[in-house]
Chains A and B, each alone.
Chain A
């Protein structure tokens, strides 16, 4: 019965954090045999369970004997016997296995603890490896990092996610089975950035959905940019052709029109330029335009009497005069 109690003491403390348990185990393993027990009790004193206090006070006295008994009894659950503990990998594995069984129900609490621990360790820019329970790698690492608070014993899945915080540093956890030096981690971060942006570009460029693979997509993007630039060049050629050379003296025309017709043409520009919103006029561009002297442009009457010249943008009936550009500007003023 004593052994059972000892076993319960060790494994079933609901309030004892996993870390403390780990520390306890490690203290068992590394230093001499006598001190770990003391250390263990020191840790256990940190437990603040309402029910356990009274229990512990008695347990502190009784435990050494109980442990001795348990080893004799060969309680498989405990297995903290000094002969078996010293530096055997098997023992460690078993220990953790048993703990996993017991800790499964306390998963939530452990994740909570883990968050606390993570927060504590946040100041350092550290690369941590989190690995599965029961793998020897993790145990060895835990040995080395026994003092660090970040090292925790989780029952999560093997894949570890990246944690991005809003501090200057980006804390990254290396995935299982990958290198952990800073260069490769930074490299990985950079690659993920690039692939993120590639996805964004994929949405922009039409016809990129079917292509997979970075190289193909990048080629597609390059082709698209080139085609857009070629289109601009082609359209500028067209513009140059469509607009005839101005043969007349524009200034005189403008000067004339200022006097004659003030604002009678206001409604038509509004009609025509419905395709373009007039917001920019209200936003303050109009003052600029006034200053630059575009106001006195009103060659409409001279240019096209039949149809509304400014309807070029809507209907396609266009005066083949260069002045239409200026008319548009005037129309933007228009209101």
Chain B
């Protein structure tokens, strides 16, 4: 699924890559909690959702995209793992402060919407608007891929 645009690269891997990563993470889940799965469904749902996002980030190219990097960092932080990309993040935050000050003056209509988008897209806080839109495009593609995979899975598993 290559994009025709030469300037912006939003290539996204095929469906099977997403499927593979998702299934792998799901089976990892089962391995972690094989027998004493909590009764609370919410717990399971949350775990599955998190597995979905993490697998999507991995499938979409790990650390090559800002949003996937931020997503994985967030996930690792929740599990109290060592945060790897901290140095980069610091660089990015440095940029935010200088850019945000100026960007607030620019086209307030666009900037309002960009703020909302930043809250949605992981890692959006550290980007300029134009970069944010690139990331959003890639994110949308990956999200729709993941949705397709999960839909297939659910359809396959649900009893008729």
Given A187-B106, A204-B141: A222 and B154 within 8 A (CB)? no
Q: Mark contacts of B110-126 with chain A using CB atoms, 8 A cut-off: 1 yes-contact digit, 0 otherwise.
A: 10011011001100000
Query: How far, in whole Å, are A287 and B26 apart by their CA atoms in the complex?
Result: 19
Beta-carbon contacts under 8 Å, B106-160 to A? 106-107, 109-110, 113-114, 116-117, 120-121, 129-130, 133-134, 136-137, 139-141, 143-144, 146-147, 150-160
A1 at the B interface (CB under 8 A): no
In this complex, how many residues of chain A approach chain B with their Cβ under 8 Å: the count is 61
Beta-carbon contacts under 8 Å, A215-238 to B? 215, 218-219, 221-222, 224-226, 228-229, 231-233, 235-238
Which of A236, A249, A313, A326 is B49 in contact with, Cβ under 8 Å? Answer: A236
Chain B residues whose CB sits within 8 angstroms of the CB of A285 once the complex forms: 20
Contact B157 A200 (CB under 8 A): no
A318 at the B interface (CB under 8 A): yes
B96 at the A interface (CB under 8 A): no
Chain B residues whose CB sits within 8 angstroms of the CB of A239 once the complex forms: 48, 150, 153-154, 157
Complex: chain A residue closest to B50, CB-CB = A236
Instruction: Report how many A-B pairs have Cβ atoms within 8 Å.
Output: 158
B14 to chain A, nearest CB (A): 7
A10 at the B interface (CB under 8 A): no
Contact A225 B147 (CB under 8 A): no
A316 at the B interface (CB under 8 A): yes
Contact A277 B120 (CB under 8 A): no
Chain B residues whose CB sits within 8 angstroms of the CB of A294 once the complex forms: 27
Query: How far, in whole Å, are A215 and B5 apart by their CA atoms in the complex?
Result: 23
Contact B159 A320 (CB under 8 A): yes
Contact B24 A235 (CB under 8 A): no
Query: How far, in whole Å, are A208 and B41 apart by their CA atoms in the complex?
Result: 37
Q: Choose, from A13-21, A72-80, A190-198, the stretch at the interface.
A: A190-198
B26, B113, B156 — which one has the most chain A CB atoms within 10 A of its CB? B156
Query: How far, in whole Å, are A17 and B68 apart by their CA atoms in the complex?
Result: 57
Chain A residues whose CB sits within 8 angstroms of the CB of B143 once the complex forms: 225, 228-229, 232
B75 to chain A, nearest CB (A): 15
Which of B20, B150, B154 is A332 in contact with, Cβ under 8 Å? Answer: B20
Chain B residues whose CB sits within 8 angstroms of the CB of A277 once the complex forms: 14, 16
B52 at the A interface (CB under 8 A): yes
Contact A322 B30 (CB under 8 A): yes
B37 at the A interface (CB under 8 A): yes
Contact A275 B152 (CB under 8 A): yes
B98 to chain A, nearest CB (A): 15
Contact A250 B113 (CB under 8 A): no
Beta-carbon contacts under 8 Å, B30-58 to A? 30, 34-35, 37, 41, 44-45, 48-49, 52-53
Contact B137 A204 (CB under 8 A): yes
B26, B106, B134 — which one has the most chain A CB atoms within 10 A of its CB? B26
Contact A229 B120 (CB under 8 A): yes
Complex: chain B residue closest to A283, CB-CB = B17
Query: How far, in whole Å, are A198 and B38 apart by their CA atoms in the complex?
Result: 45
Given A225-B140, A231-B147: A324 and B157 within 8 A (CB)? yes
Q: Mark contacts of A233-265 with chain B using CB atoms, 8 A cut-off: 1 yes-contact digit, 0 otherwise.
A: 101111111110110011100000000000000
Query: How far, in whole Å, are A235 and B156 apart by their CA atoms in the complex?
Result: 13
Contact B41 A193 (CB under 8 A): no
Query: How far, in whole Å, are A196 and B8 apart by their CA atoms in the complex?
Result: 10
B84 at the A interface (CB under 8 A): no
Contact B49 A193 (CB under 8 A): no
**Pairs across A and B, CB under 8 Å, 27 listed:** A194-B133, A197-B8, A197-B130, A197-B134, A201-B133, A201-B137, A204-B137, A204-B140, A214-B109, A222-B113, A222-B116, A222-B117, A225-B120, A225-B139, A226-B120, A228-B144, A236-B49, A236-B52, A237-B45, A239-B153, A242-B157, A245-B37, A279-B14, A313-B152, A317-B160, A320-B157, A329-B24
Interface on B for A, CB 8 Å cutoff? 3, 5, 7-8, 10, 14-17, 19-20, 23-24, 26-27, 30, 34-35, 37, 41, 44-45, 48-49, 52-53, 106-107, 109-110, 113-114, 116-117, 120-121, 129-130, 133-134, 136-137, 139-141, 143-144, 146-147, 150-160
- Given contact pairs A242-B154, A318-B158, enumerate 13 new A-B contacts (beta carbons under 8 Å): A200-B137, A222-B117, A225-B117, A225-B136, A228-B140, A236-B45, A236-B49, A240-B45, A279-B16, A316-B155, A318-B160, A329-B23, A329-B27
